[in-house]
Amino acid sequence: MQQRHASTGNKKQRAGLRISLTLALGLAAGAAATNALACASCGCTLSKDWDAQGQTTVPGLSADLSYTYINQNRQLYGSKTASPGLINNLYANGQEDELSTKTATTTAAINYNGDAWGVSVQIPYLDRTHATNGVTANGGADLGANYTTSSDSGIGDVRIIGRYSGLCEDKTSTGLIFGLKLPTGSTNATFNAGAGAGQALDPGLQLGTGSTDIILGGYTSGAIGSYGWFVQGTVQRAVTTKNDMLGNY
C-alpha cells in the first residue's frame, strides 16, 4: 500500500511506452472539437488542444503560446480522500505523506505547414513546486518532522512533431503524426528545503524525463449531420536515455 496525493498515482518514472488517445465530438455545426483527455502524474505535459500537438492546418508559418496550471493538493488513498487518521497511521508505518504538487506549464510552439506536410517545434517551460512529509529509515517519526519541499523551473522536454495529411483528397481530414521528444529538460534537481534538502528529486518531479522518445500516430475527422468529430491517437516510446548516450548502463 502506498500513500498518494491528489490523482498522482506512482511518482516513479515510467520511460517505456506511452499511448495517448484523443476523442472529441463537436457541438458547433461543421466544427471539429478541440477537447482532449487529461493526464496527471505529478505533472502533465500533454496539451488539451489537438492543434497544439502539431496537427494545426493553418498554412504557412504560425506561432502559438499556451498555459496550463495543475494544482494537486488533495490527499488520496486509492481513489478516495485519505482521512487524517489514515494518514497518521500510514506515516507511522513508514509510508510517505505527499502533500501537494503545483505545476504551471507555458508552451511556445512554432509551426510551418505546406500543402500536405507540416512541422511543429514545441518548447515547454515548467514551474513546479512540491511538498511532502518524508519518512526516516525506521519510520514512525512525528508527522511533519521530515517536511521537505522542492521548487524548480526551466525548459522541459522539447518536441519536434511532423504531420502528413496527403492521405485524402482534401489534405486536411486524415493524416499521420511522427516526431521526437528530446531530453532537454533537467533531470538532476534536488529537494531544496526541509529535512530532505539536497536529496535527489523523484524522477516524476523532474523537469525532463532524460529520454529521447519517438512519437508515431495518426488522426482523422469528419462530420455526422451538422456535428463535427475528431479522433487522434499517438504512441510514444523511449529509444535512448542520457545515461545510454554517456555510456553508463
Q: 158-207: per-residue pLDDT in tens?
A: 999 999 988 877 766 788 999 999 999 999 999 999 888 898 988 989 99
The whole-number average pLDDT for the span 10-15 is 42
Task: Please give the backbone phi and psi of residue 109, each rounded to the nearest 5 degrees, phi first.
Answer: -130, 135
The proportion of the chain whose per-residue pLDDT surpasses 90, expressed as a percent, equals: 37
Domain count, the chain: 1
List the alpha helices (DSSP H) in the chain: 84-92, 242-246
**How many angstroms separate the CA atoms of 200 and 4, rounded?**
19
Stretch 45-53: mean pLDDT: 45
Residues 6+ apart with CB under 8 A from 60: 112, 113
Grid cell locating 44:
502533465
pTM, two decimal places: 0.73
pLDDT band at 16 (very low <50, low <70, confident <90, very high): low
pLDDT above 60 (res 210): yes
CB 41 within 8 A of CB 204: yes
Q: Please check the confidence at residue 138 and state whether its pLDDT lies above 80.
A: no
Domain enclosing residue 171, as ranges: 4-246
**What's the CA gap between 65 and 197, in Å, rounded?**
34
